[in-house]
Amino acid sequence: MPITEDVTAHDVAVRERWTLIESDGRLQRVVAIINERAIPLKVRHDERVNRVINHTTMTTGAKIEALWEAVDEIGEIAKPHTACRKGCSHCCHTPVLVPVQEAELIGRRIGVKPVKLTGISGRDDIEAGYHNPCTFLDAHGACSIYSSRPLACRQLFNMDRDALLCELVGETASKVPYMNMFDYQTALAMTAIDRRESVERNPRTGRMQPRTVESAPVVGDIREFFPRGKG
């Protein structure tokens, strides 16, 4: 797809688009329509997600797949109103952060073992851009693991009328009116928390007592976990 080559002209176009978005009310109307249709679904999701997060015998992989399914259901409502279309791949050139448990799930589903990472990565740590696409983006601009793509990808819906604001050009490249899917991202983070049971001595009584130790999961970009894609 064509990318605006004149960065100055692109920045002007972006500023003009945001002025229009903030003045014509279209974005607010679209979001209101989606929210109205999604409310009954989100009510069911609240119950389902809480059951999933707190389920004692369900594997972490199964929990993540349940979250994927919930996000996809919301996505079906949003799709007719978004700028996202087949063949558009701007977001495939941005950082795609996933917890190690999600990377392991993807690896099992596609038959590729993820690289073991030792530290947590942030978006600023990733060299992304049109020169460094997601390793699963194929030559036709499509995701080669679409049914197994991470939640970070499933939740991205540009609510504008076209892909202008998704173009990674100029100083305003990252400001996109994405649909708010924060609840599901939070649920993924809670699912991926590493919990370990241990015992410790109570300093007051001197007795041993159980203790649950929680630590944040290792998070990395999908390029780090799968540097060779499906290869």
In the numeric block, which tokens belong to residue 157? Answer: 């819906």
How many domains are there within the chain? Answer: 1
Let me know if residue 2 belongs to a domain: no
Residue whose structure tokens are 């109205």: 36
Give the pLDDT confidence score for residue 46 in this predicted structure: 82
Let me know if residue 140 belongs to a domain: yes
Let me know if residue 56 belongs to a domain: yes
Let me know if residue 64 belongs to a domain: yes
Where does the pLDDT of residue 196 fall: very low under 50, low under 70, confident under 90, or very high at 90 and above?
A: low
Let me know if residue 174 belongs to a domain: yes
- CA neighbours within 13 Å on the CB side: how many for 223? 19
Q: Say how far apart CA 164 and CA 139 lie, in whole Å.
A: 22
Let me know if residue 206 belongs to a domain: no
Could you read off the pLDDT of 122-174 as tens digits, one per residue? 777 888 889 999 999 999 999 999 999 999 999 999 999 999 999 998 765 56
- CA neighbours within 13 Å on the CB side: how many for 179? 31
Let me know if residue 201 belongs to a domain: no
Let me know if residue 203 belongs to a domain: no
The predicted model scores a pTM of: 0.84
Which domain covers residue 47, as residue numbers? Answer: 7-192+211-225
